[in-house]
Structure 1
Amino acid sequence: MELRQLKYFLKAKELLNFTDAARALNISQSTLSQQIKQLEDELNVPLFNRIGKRITLTEAGDLFSNYASQSINKANEGLLLLQDLKNLNTGKITVGVIYSMRILFAKILIQFADQYPNIKIQVVFGTTKDLLEKLNLHQFDFILTFHEKPTNAQLKYQTLLKTNMVLVTGKRSPLAQKTNISLNEVAALPLALPFSGYSTIQFIEESFSQKSLIPNICMEINDIPTLFEIVKTGHWHTILSDTSVNDPDVVAIPIDGKNMRRTIMIISLREAYEKKAVKKFHEMLTKI
């Protein structure tokens, strides 16, 4: 059963004349008659009584016309919805974001929402591990996360930016005046670090291990604002990416070493359809 056949049937029902209906549809009468006959054969019931050159609806035709009309209307509504999607007048984006990107992401989110107010946006913050798992379950359109080595052939990777790992200390800390600091110096400090399972803590542990250093980790906390409150006391310090730091009462000190830079990527499923709204969001992100 095709929409075209339903349209032909409804026009014939309206005019009760195959010749007039064919003329209104700009097709030949034979084409109209053939398509309606095919529809009747598929439904296994006549829709019209054919009396000479006159036609009238059968009881089945009368009942079926309501559903045929609903089908055409629903198809038209679907077409309008797709046009709205194309024109970014409707739609939804679901994004997974690591905590370290929350400041930069919020700026882009505001810009996007201001420019495309009819697009609904759902944002979920999480660890790299959690976000990747949910992406593979098709729960996100894309995620923003640290990722240095693209390895999964089912995923599409786009480098967004490079970020430096920094020691975060209180503004009144004796260390606050330093312009840089070595990993050896950092290892001797009392540290409050992100919780195990975060990509950042794994990176930090590997960096210390490569230099055979054992850091003095006093606390592990899964909330960056709380880490800042701990750091402000001046008794503890933390290590984060510089994109995480926006508190006026803390200072970010670059950590020496070429390996103290990380890559933040836009990651999505390679075979998934990319919505136009997602493409626009990517464009804004890449202008950071």
Structure 2
Amino acid sequence: MEIRHLHYFMAVCEELHFTKAAEKLGISQPTLSQQIRVLEDELGMPLFDRIGKKIVVTEAGALLFTYATAMLNTLQNVKGAIKDLQEVQGGQIRVGIMPSDLDYRITQLVIDFHQKFPRVKLTILASIDIMRQVLENEVDIGIGTNVEPHDRLVIIPLRKEEYVVTVSKEHPWAHREAVTIAELKDLPLVMYPEGFLGREIVEETVKKHGFQLHTILETSSVTSIMNLVRANIGATVQPYPLIQQMNDSDLRIIRLTDAIPSRSLSIIYRVDRYVSHATTAFIEQIKAYLKE
């Protein structure tokens, strides 16, 4: 069995179409079909059932897919480890992070890291589904929120952050230092849409007190949310360190005195991922930058 056969097989599994898989691989469809037959002959079982123009993965194919994924990941880790030895402080790190934290919190972290490791290419990707990104190898590491234990993940806790009410300096509550959770019941809010983790954390807290958030505007962009709050369209409820980082004189922070919503930040990466010297250094810098 050759590595290229596994790559061919995986491409067909992903596309479930020989012609599309061949185009993706840059080879002809007859060549791809012939190579899959070679693999099937070697294993002594069909890997795909051909039903008209459609194909489905057989039980043997599903089994091979599981092991082939692990083998190709291991091969990639070997290549990464050897490349890391060759380049010492070079290479690339892909990092997944929540959009709000990307916009307002990690700029200085990235600057500091680049100054120490100028040969390392950092790719920072905003996402609201960081666990999936990590598990599917779209990023090398993630900075996740409220991450549940997972047998395929290494989870390094960083800090717990409380949520606060944030208003414009023109808002009727601008003079207040603290409010109770019950006082949010009829407060006009600008928030993320339902389904966004930052919204759900707050929503779950107020539901325990018998009401839902009164949102008058919803947007998936924290920048838009804060611009609307500055314009006194409504208040918002966001992590305290995020608002603190903005250091905006047009905003007022109001603490919650009871039933305080909070989020937990963690570094996550796959247990089977090779962690390069540069990635280890970046993880240590994240821990120093964000740990309580």
TM-score (structure 1 length as normaliser): 0.67
Are the equivalent residues in 1 in contact too, given 2:81–2:276 (CA < 8 A)? no
Which residue matches 1:248?
249
Which residue matches 2:236?
238
Find the aligned partners of 1:152 and 1:79 in 2 and give their Cα distance. 25
Which residue matches 2:111?
110
CA shift for structure 1 position 84: 4.1
Are the equivalent residues in 1 in contact too, given 2:164–2:255 (CA < 8 A)? yes
Find the aligned partners of 1:258 and 1:92 in 2 and give their Cα distance. 42
One-letter amino acid of the structure 1 residue matched with residue 138 of structure 2: Q
Are the equivalent residues in 2 in contact too, given 1:101–1:243 (CA < 8 A)? no
CA shift for structure 1 position 213: 1.5
One-letter amino acid of the structure 1 residue matched with residue 285 of structure 2: M
Give the secondary structure class of the aligned counterpart of 1:213.
coil
Which residue matches 1:224?
222
Q: 1:275 to 1:81 in 2, by over 3 A?
A: closer
CA shift for structure 1 position 82: 3.9
Deviation by residue 1:244-280 (Cα, 9 ceiling, x = unmatched): 2213321222222354222111111112111111110
Find the aligned partners of 1:82 and 1:144 in 2 and give their Cα distance. 23
Percent identity at matched positions? Answer: 19
CA shift for structure 1 position 100: 3.2
Deviation by residue 1:63-109 (Cα, 9 ceiling, x = unmatched): xxxxxxxxxxxxxxx99954343x31x10000000123223322211
Are the equivalent residues in 2 in contact too, given 1:93–1:121 (CA < 8 A)? yes
> In the TM superposition, what are the counterparts of 1:206-221 in structure 2 within 5 Å?
206-221=204-219
Give the secondary structure class of the aligned counterpart of 1:262.
strand
Which residue matches 2:91?
91
Q: 1:212 to 1:111 in 2, by over 3 A?
A: same
Give the secondary structure class of the aligned counterpart of 2:174.
helix
Are the equivalent residues in 1 in contact too, given 2:95–2:140 (CA < 8 A)? yes
Residues matched between the structures, number: 206
Find the aligned partners of 1:182 and 1:140 in 2 and give their Cα distance. 40
Q: 1:155 to 1:83 in 2, by over 3 A?
A: closer
Unmatched 5+ stretches in structure 2: 1-79
Deviation by residue 1:214-266 (Cα, 9 ceiling, x = unmatched): 22111211011111111112231111112322133212222223542221111
Unmatched 5+ stretches in structure 1: 1-77
Are the equivalent residues in 1 in contact too, given 2:185–2:212 (CA < 8 A)? yes
One-letter amino acid of the structure 2 residue matched with residue 250 of structure 1: L
CA shift for structure 1 position 178: 1.6
One-letter amino acid of the structure 2 residue matched with residue 83 of structure 1: L
Q: 1:210 to 1:120 in 2, by over 3 A?
A: same
One-letter amino acid of the structure 2 residue matched with residue 278 of structure 1: T
Are the equivalent residues in 2 in contact too, given 1:173–1:234 (CA < 8 A)? yes
One-letter amino acid of the structure 1 residue matched with residue 91 of structure 2: G
One-letter amino acid of the structure 2 residue matched with residue 220 of structure 1: E
Are the equivalent residues in 1 in contact too, given 2:81–2:274 (CA < 8 A)? no
Which residue matches 1:151?
149
TM-score (structure 2 length as normaliser): 0.66
